[in-house]
Amino acid sequence: MLAYSDTKNSRLFTLEGGGSKLTKIRLTKPLDPSWKILVLADAVICCQSHGKVLLIDVRDDCQVFTIKEGGDVISVLKTSEDEKYFALGDHGSNIEVYDVKTREMVYNLPQYSTAQPTAMAFHPQLPLLIASYSDEKIFEFDSEKGQYTQRALVLNDTWRSRRFLGDVVVNIQYETNNNKIILQTHSTISIIDPSGTQRDGLHECKEFKYILYGQSFNGQMVVVEQTPDRIANNFPAALRKKQFGT
């Protein structure tokens, strides 16, 4: 399945013939534009303006369910590896976790400040959710105990012990093969060993110019980098010259 949004509508398609054929999924009414879209095996989650969140169940005649009517704009959208849960982080510093099947909120993280969440990740095996914020704080929440983990303090101290502060985390991953946590900013890849000390628990790679995407697969990592200038040069002329809007 493929989903995308422009300034007018959000659209859904099915892929057939190995991806060579696109068939538009027709809904009872057009979907409004989406800030974030997450495609799952049996559902599509759309985060729209004013904090509205929709879930489209593709198994049940593509019924559209409203998860949230409104609120702060959603800035981060993440699903668990088994696609049973998804997490919403908004500009109001709220993080809520929902059950995909029941479409009900199962828990939310305590709101500790006004800093916005910038990245989140579910642990693939344990009931843990880790989140980073715009003030460079990192918290790990245990949903079974309903509280932050003890090692959350270690994560924060280790992350803030690095030489250069100011980089906002844009992606987090659990590396379960060796019990590490991978943090990605736009210029660095950092690996934290929660069992280590501040001095030996943080390893950083600063060889990148501008990271667009990073993902770990079985101990190896794929990184896509591109400089902002090269990105801008590939924009349409109207965007490059800022000849749009008023």
- Structure tokens of 61? 């005649």
Q: Which residue has the tokens 């892929």?
A: 15
Q: How confident is residue 246, by pLDDT bands cut at 50, 70 and 90?
A: very low
Per-residue pLDDT of 193-232, as tens digits, reads 877 655 667 888 887 878 888 888 777 888 888 887 887 7
Task: Answer whether 182's CB lies under 8 Å from 172's CB.
Answer: yes
Q: How far is CA 230 from CA 113, 122, 188, 226, 233, in A?
A: 36, 33, 19, 7, 5
Q: What are 65-116's pLDDT values in tens digits?
A: 999 998 899 999 999 999 999 999 999 999 999 999 999 999 999 987 889 9
| Residue labelled with tokens 């460079």 | 136
Identify the DSSP state of 237. H
Contact of 82 with 99, CB cutoff 8 Å: no
Query: CB of 56 within 8 A of CB of 64?
Result: yes
Fold of 110-246: Methylamine Dehydrogenase; Chain H (2.130.10)
Strand ordering across the sheet containing 105-108: 74-79, 85-90, 95-99, 105-108
